[in-house]
Amino acid sequence: MELQVPDVPLLKIFSFLDAFSLLQASQVNRGWNRVAENDQLWRSLCLKKWSLCNFSGCLGSQTWKRLFLQQTKLEHRMAAVKNALFSYGPMAYLSGCGHTVGAQEKSVLCTVSSKHKLYAWDVQEGTMIWSSPVQQSSIMRLATLPQMHLAFTVDLEGTVKVWNCQDEDALATLTMPWTCFSLEICLTNDGPFLMVGNAEGDIYTLTVPELRGVSKVNAFKYSVDLLHCSPDKKWIFASGTHQNILPVVFLTESLLKPSEGKSPLSLSIPFSSCCRACWAPRRTSRITVMYRRGSCKKTGFTTFELMAKRMGDRTDMQARQIATFLLPLHMESPIWMGVGDGNTVVFESGPSLFLFTISGHLLQRFEDHQRTIGNLWVDPVHVLTTSTDDSLHLYMWDEEGRYPHLKSCCHLEHVGNDPAPNIL
């Protein structure tokens, strides 16, 4: 490279390169390396690749090149969990659900409206791509199975339906004998199964998509309000919000392959008044429970480690409490919660978002919403909050340091009568 190209024309030439070519050019010599580090080049690449994002909250003191590389790394992590089930309240997010545009998969968000309808939205375009017919009763619960491009609903009358979010009619329908309060999908080596908890304390296990019965277990005297399958599909956590109920953890296999005359293998967790629970995504036998107790309704979090050992012809199950803490009385009690790596818990309180260690040490507080946070969704890559004013905020996990922490990324607001959100 005897020829020395001046910086200005070289910068213009480099502006036509993609990121990989620019990184290669930076290794030619010191002069090219200096020009290839130009912040405007990497800013252009960021805006070209992620045109819908506002990076003002993400950049901080770092360079645009470092931000580009970090975002690309996050995309690889997102790809690793893209078929995970993300659901919260009346929404369920199918990442890479199989709807295609050219060679690219769309990301599709399923939502439920007060008009008794199920909707599917193209996240990138912000447009509705499908809606169900109006249902006879309010849809109470929603779950998704991205690997089979399916959504599951249960309404106020106990009618369970399977949808492919393309056809007008449901693929399968099953009317349960009682009102259903919980819905969970479990994708195992033997195939997918749907678990439904009802008002009588029963847990039904059904095949997918046919909704044929596999097993029925009476877990409580009261309703089954919470059903959560562990990330490795080994455990099923079940609980009600009644103060006299102790949560129960089942071995999933004993629900999927019931033995005649034998009760499924289970373990009661000695902690009543449970109102939420979340499995740690990377510590598959660790679960954090949120509870409320006493006349003041004190809110606390307790984390358990579960173990199962084969002892001859029987299995011994144990739950060991590893951490617990109470929130201050002045703090508004949260409704939603999630966990990070197993050592942190994230929850809302009014319009604020908090990140604590499982032992009760405050790590972060965010105040990105003007009104009360109405829903919270947590996965290994993102934390998503929505508020009562129809605004949405996206955070991403950063694992540098002793504990993972959150970075604020973008904010969306619903403006006027426009059904599509606006990115701010």
pLDDT at 210: 95
Q: Per-residue pLDDT for 283 more than 90? A: no
Closest by Cα among 86, 129, 72 to 105: 129
pLDDT at 86: 33
Domain-located, residue 406? no
Q: How far apart are CA 376 and CA 88, in angstroms?
A: 7
pLDDT at 195: 95
Residue for token pair 């949405």:
392
Q: Per-residue pLDDT for 420 more than 70? A: no
> Which CATH number belongs to the domain containing residue 22 in this structure?
1.20.1280
Report the run of H or E that residue 213 belongs to, with start and end.
Answer: strand 213-218
pLDDT at 316: 86
Beta carbons of 203 and 178 less than 8 angstroms apart: no
Residues with Cβ < 8 Å from 98, sequence gap 6 or more? Answer: 105, 146, 149
pLDDT tens string 45-103: 888 877 645 555 555 667 888 888 877 776 665 544 443 333 333 455 444 433 333 33
| DSSP conformational letter for 122 | E
Q: Per-residue pLDDT for 158 more than 90? A: yes
Domain-located, residue 25? yes
Lowest mean pLDDT: which of 8-12, 222-226, 230-234, 293-297? 293-297
Task: Tell me the pLDDT of the chain averaged across its residues.
Answer: 83
Q: Per-residue pLDDT for 381 more than 70? A: yes
pLDDT tens string 182-237: 999 998 888 899 999 999 999 999 999 999 999 999 988 889 999 999 988 999 99
pLDDT at 83: 37
By three-state DSSP, how is residue 269 classified? coil
Q: Per-residue pLDDT for 334 more than 90? A: yes
Closest by Cα among 88, 55, 67, 47 to 410: 55
Domain-located, residue 20? yes
pLDDT tens string 24-35: 988 888 889 999
pLDDT at 3: 64
pLDDT at 59: 59
Q: How far apart are CA 399 and CA 405, in angstroms?
A: 6
| DSSP conformational letter for 343 | S
Closest by Cα among 166, 283, 293, 292 to 231: 283
Q: How far apart are CA 233 and CA 214, in angstroms?
A: 17
Domain holding 78, by residue range, is 1-37+65-82
Domain-located, residue 22? yes
Q: State the total domains in the chain.
A: 1
Q: How far apart are CA 309 and CA 296, in angstroms?
A: 40
pLDDT at 247: 92
Q: Per-residue pLDDT for 41 more than 60? A: yes
Mean predicted confidence (pLDDT) in 279-289: 90
Domain-located, residue 18? yes
Q: Per-residue pLDDT for 300 more than 70? A: yes
Q: Per-residue pLDDT for 415 more than 80? A: no
Q: Per-residue pLDDT for 302 more than 80? A: yes
Domain-located, residue 149? no
Global confidence as pTM: 0.72
pLDDT at 357: 95
Mean predicted confidence (pLDDT) in 387-416: 79
Mean predicted confidence (pLDDT) in 368-383: 87
Q: Per-residue pLDDT for 4 more than 60? A: yes
pLDDT tens string 358-370: 999 999 999 999 8
